[in-house]
Amino acid sequence: MMKKRITLALLVSFLFNIALKADEGMWLPMLLGQQVYDDMVKKGLKLSAAQLYDINKPSIKDAIVIFGGGCTGEIVSNEGLVFTNHHCGYEAIAKASSVEHNYLRDGFWSKSKAEEIPSENLSVQFLVRIEDYTDKVNALTKDLSEADYLKKLPDILTDLGKKATEGTTYEGRVASFFKGNQFLLFVYERYKDVRLVGAPSESVGKFGGDTDNWEWPRHTGDFSVFRVYMSKDGKAADYAKDNVPLKPKYFLPVSIKGVKDGDFSMIYGYPGGTNRYETSFGVKLKVEVENPSLVNLRDVRLKLMKEQMVKDAGVKLQLASSYARIANYWKFFDGESKQLIKYDVYGQKQQAEGDFLNWAKGKPEYENIFQDYRKAYETWTPYSKWRVYLNEGILGSPLIKFASDMGALDKVLCNKDAKPEELAKAIESAKKAHDIFAKDENVASDKNILSAVINMFFNDIPQDQMPKGFYNWLKNKYGDLNNVHTFEAYSADVFATTIMLDATKWNNFIAKPDTATLHKDLAFFTANAFQSYYAANFAKAFTDFQTQTAWLGKTYLKGVIAMNGTKKMYPDANFTMRVSYGAVKPYHPRDGLDLASVCTMKGVLEKYKPGDYEFDLPKNFVDIARKKDFGPYIDKTHNDLVVSFITTNDITGGNSGSPVLNGKGELIGLAFDGNYEALSHKIAFDKDLNRTICVDVRYVLFVIDKVGGASNIIKELNISQ
């Protein structure tokens, strides 16, 4: 039976009855509570609560969009202009590019709407409203067992979201909060005609590359510009040539007054995910097994991709998006582990759990919870590395990942009772997936990746967990498994013979697919060997682990809420709209090092290295910067152009592209990164070291205006000094 729910009134009471000591917290704008709002006003907010969030009148929430599938953007003009990060627009910029018109390398600036470039499969979503759906979810799940609850909950939430928006063009999604103790419906409107308006060259938008990623000081111009279009009758619509620019409910004004230490800062956006209520067991598994495995595997993949990218501009363009995505979280997970260890987050969690157990004495629902956690982790941990090596290693080869996805077609082919329409649907899905795969596949790098990860799997996974059938076959056919050439020869054969890389063979197969041909294919054989072994030996253990820990987490959070009473609590990030607030502030990461709150053009020119892969800059940019031709964007205090600044705001992935606002609700920057010293932030917020790195809006406007010459974009904005 389901336990008694946490009511919305009780959730609101958590948000009302707090005494903030730091800037921790990603708050639901609908449920700020009076005391949170009062604290924001005390720290510098000049707006009413209704100006922050209102479902009946235009408010700031109407200018904030989900950009693509995992970023935030903001509307900055009455013609649907959107600012977001360069790395958020990266894929769209890459797709719009060619070797002849390489907008990643050279940048792109449309001087009129006619020059704007449609972005295939790119959309933005506006939040329409939020409703409490806890009663509805609890009514549908109250009689489910623990296993059925976890299994059926996703479909229940999906169905509720669909029913809430039936007969409309809206999309509804029900999200879980406090590990299943609260459920809220979010209704969105999606616009699918989004066009590229402008972007700096990659050397500006990614200045510093992997070296500076997650680091402060930072001198990256991480922004890009898009426009949302609607149909002539004012509706959200697919791309059409005669669509017109969106007339938004609200757009953000822009301030070029600049920032100084202590200034109030507010960030709206869609933080992707945190796990601040993780247990010590979860921290231990992450630090000792999951993160090191992931980092090692991604390190190898990145090196092998980069080997090919530096040789050929076309390959660099082809792999740019994938490389950036893999690299970003390679460094994150490496830094996360180091910070979790450095600040003894494991010990902090144990102390918190000890306090919980003292409170739980005599409360049967809670007093044995950590014994159950221990059993669950002890059962799963021996197999956890296997799962990481499958997902980040074996399936880290794009070819093997595509071959694995062909399992869906194979399943239909093997089903004698499959209906003709089921087979037709599976074939069509395979065709579309192959088109995408073939376009992005780089054989040279992938061949080396496959060889490397199959070798790493053999050397790093315990022998008693080895898929011996595959490795015995490999040894018999290609030789000594302690010889790297064995794996190279095997990989060469996979790529030379697979039907998935031969257009003629693929077309013949997909015209009349059969399971025998698929199973003879070396790429499919490899994918199937590992996935079938996982399914037979570890899949149930992982499902049981997920079921147990999900239920334990739900119960634990219910207990934590009861124990804390009116103390500060906020739900984990889950890619729903949040607002955080803080201040522009320097920090002191270690003895003898004090880091200022702003970076200037002086630092950009000091880092500049002509011809360097990460620190090169366009010639016209350097010329303008050296002349200090900064126009109205110059910072008079520094007599220089401020490039970036840091704040104490609490954000995480998904907040990329989020607007940074001053107390008047004016745009002063775009959030784009966190700092290395606080990369444990998904699990533990550090009130002293946590910083959000923001590109200053004056730098954005300087690049658009002075470097890009796109004064037409500047004229659209509502700029105040």
d(C-alpha 626, C-alpha 605), whole Å: 8
656 is catalytic: yes
d(C-alpha 77, C-alpha 83), whole Å: 10
pTM of the model: 0.89
d(C-alpha 437, C-alpha 398), whole Å: 8
d(C-alpha 696, C-alpha 702), whole Å: 10
Amino acid occupying residue 576: T
Active-site residue, selected from the candidate residues 212, 222, 650, 673: 222
263 is catalytic: no
Active-site residue, selected from the candidate residues 656, 673, 686, 696: 656
CA distances to 148, 429, 441, 450 from 437, rounded to whole Å, are 35, 12, 6, 16
Beta bridge partners of 64: 74
Predicted confidence at residue 19, as pLDDT, reads: 35
Cα dihedral value 569, 575, 579, 583, nearest 10 = 90
Predicted confidence at residue 427, as pLDDT, reads: 96
Q: Please name each of the domains of the chain with its CATH number.
A: 8-22+50-256 (no CATH), 277-396+548-571 (no CATH), 397-537 (no CATH), 581-720 (2.40.10)
Helices assigned H by DSSP within 271-312: 280-285, 291-309
Rounded (5°) CA angle 190-196-200: 135
231 is catalytic: no
Q: Show the tokens assigned to 273.
A: 């995910």
Active-site residue, selected from the candidate residues 59, 62, 77, 87: 87
Cα dihedral value 236, 238, 240, 242, nearest 10 = 0
Predicted confidence at residue 699, as pLDDT, reads: 98
* Average confidence (pLDDT) per 10 residues, the chain, 721 residues: 38 39 81 88 97 95 96 98 97 93 96 97 96 97 91 96 97 97 97 98 96 96 98 96 97 98 98 96 98 97 95 90 87 93 96 96 96 98 98 98 96 93 95 94 98 98 96 97 97 98 96 95 98 97 95 96 83 97 95 95 98 95 98 96 98 97 98 95 94 98 98 98 87
